[in-house]
Amino acid sequence: MDDDKKILYLVRHAQGHHNVGYAGTVFSLALRMVVPRWQLLERWNCFGIEDASLTPTGWKQVKELRERNVHGGVDLVVVSPMTRTLQTAAGVFGGGERKPGEELPPLMADGVGACPGAAVSSVGCPPFIALELCREHTSVYPCDKRSSISRCKQQFPAVDFSQIMDEEDSLWSPTLPESKASLDARRRALLQWLAARKEKKIAVVSHSFFLSRLVGAQDGDGEPKLECRKRSSFSNTELRTVVLHYKH
């Protein structure tokens, strides 16, 4: 079989309310090296925010990334079904602020989140598919628990949630963090899913730890592989363009 490739645009979500007071500090990064992630989160009450939405700073980051015209030429947007990733994906890759009288359903309804943004149009943008496969490595804290799919569909009407079978979050547990084996299984399944798609230029809007694992881990021969230059952690709204090599 011949080798083939796709271009992936990997994007971490913009700043969420759960990130405030935590992300980017030298102290927290140092602690991550010696204690489990779910124990580190105990130090910040902000991680008790269930399915956190974007902050005003987060929306500014979304606007700045969109202004780089990264949305042009993307054939498909794959997004984690968390509010912060859905908001980021809609704001960066959507059709812009929705105009009165549009018949198509919006990508994002008006007033979503604790710091709501205006409704986002679905006109002229690629398809959006929500996948559990690209969710964050789940801790025991509510910031990693998604909303019900019914609520997601109400808030993001033009996003396709048909790939998600469970109405309520079956991946998250209040007592047991996700294992690395589960995380790696999702990572491998995502690469296989992307390789099987017909689209050649795909945006994946996800989370810091998951994306770092995605670009940092390598599987055996015959598995889809990512070609990327940078393998460090992702900042909010950081975009990296990588090549997915696979056999078809």
Active-site positions?
A: 13, 136
DSSP assignment of 174-207, as one string?
SS-PPPHHHHHHHHHHHHHHHHHSS-SEEEEEE-
Q: How many angstroms separate the Cα of 29 from the Cα of each of 24, 32, 33, 37?
A: 7, 5, 7, 10
Residue 3: HSE in the Cβ half-sphere, 13 Å Cα cutoff:
9
Copy the structure tokens of residue 220: 């055996």
Q: 177 pairs with which residues across the strands?
A: none
Of 213, 206, 204, nearest in space to 126 by CA: 204
Give the residue ranges of DSSP H helices in the chain.
26-32, 37-40, 56-66, 83-93, 149-155, 180-196, 208-216
Q: Of all helices (H) and strands (E), which one includes residue 129?
A: strand 128-130
Distance, CA of 50 to CA of 114 (rounded, Å) = 11
CB atoms within 10 A of CB 212: 16
**DSSP characters over 87-122:** HHHHHHHS-SBPPTT--SPPSB-TTBTTTTB--B--
Distance CA 123, CA 181 (A): 39
